[in-house]
Structure 1
Amino acid sequence: MISKTALETTDSVLRDLTDSPFPFEGKRILLGGDFRQILSVIRRGIKTDLNNCIKNSYLSNQFQKFALLDNMRVINGDADWIKFLLDVGDGVANDYEDRVTLPKNLPVSENLVDDVFGDLRGEMAEAAILAPKNIDLDRRYLEIEPFRNRNVPK
């Protein structure tokens, strides 16, 4: 999900470029998501990181919110699973230590890491970090170095 900072920066740039007083220069912007299912998880994050969610932006009241009326998974007979997901999103499924117990009938993949992350080696081989100065790259290499010798699933 886009951060509050990115959203507000986009708005600011559009206003500056067009000298417009209107949010996003009056353009229609479509954002989609369910804040119960798209959690703001930030590794080693602090409260200010969580406050960077678009729900906390001064622009959030500029958006018209729509709700989907038909849950297609429920139509296919997954009402229990949908209720479980909503309970997790609402914090109802958590125990006293804020843990969630998954349903017993939930299929668990033997190759969970491969299923979730796919072919990281192939994707990383196609990746590049570009910078105008070598000193900028040197700093990035120091950030990447701890990950270089990790075993990546094939």
Structure 2
Amino acid sequence: MSAVSRGKGGVFFVYGYGGTGSDLTGLLMKTKLIIWDEAPMMHKYCFEALDRSLKDVMQFVNPANQDITFGGKVVVFAGDLRKILPVVPKGSRQDIVFSAINSSYLWDFCRVLRLTKNMRLTTGSIGGPNDGEADIEIPHEMLVDGGHDPIATIVESTYPDIADHIWEPSYFQERAILAPTNEIAETVNDHVLSQLPGEERTYLSSDAISVEEGNFGIHEMYSTEFLNTIKCGGLPNHSI
């Protein structure tokens, strides 16, 4: 008995009693269609390995299949090349582009089909024409009156009596404030910290530039003060 299940990246996995090679080979021979979702995120070697494997399997059905792409099987690659490409550790831009599926020899045998109709909108009602902006009415019971200090009001609404629950992990795990920008998130964090008891300490990041990794000239192009002002996702602030 065998079954097919979809795993990470859209790759199909095969399960069978005993896990014998003959079960897997037999299932691949019966397969009519293989769908690989988010294909642009995978390295081209993954598809080329599948191509060689299917050729080896399908040659037992017909020796001519050894010379046919994917052994004659229909393979659908779903995804968008304008989104996330394969991750190449310490790779250059050229390395990443070269690892994409459209850099493989298999791309010459692919037919590109573009989706032009939003199927989700066919099941619902669509509003009138607009210029990309629209007013959304939020129910009154969901609104928080910000008053003169919106940040303080939001923090108090989300974390009431925060000083009394500072040592309760579940109190913070069950609550969160979403901020549209990093600057606002930092403002909220500063306000929350001001409500907590205890002595405040400031920790600064290291401001040394390593010249052993080929970073010559960076200290001449950018000052240390400028580098310390950079605030972005995934990079801790200079001052914490």
With the shorter chain as reference, the TM-score category is 0.3 to 0.5
Q: Greater strand share, 1 or 2?
A: 2
Computing the radius of gyration from Cα coordinates, the structure with the larger value is 2
Q: TM-score, normalised by structure 2?
A: 0.30
Q: Which has the higher contact order (CA 8 A, sep 6+)?
A: 1
Q: TM-score, normalised by structure 1?
A: 0.44
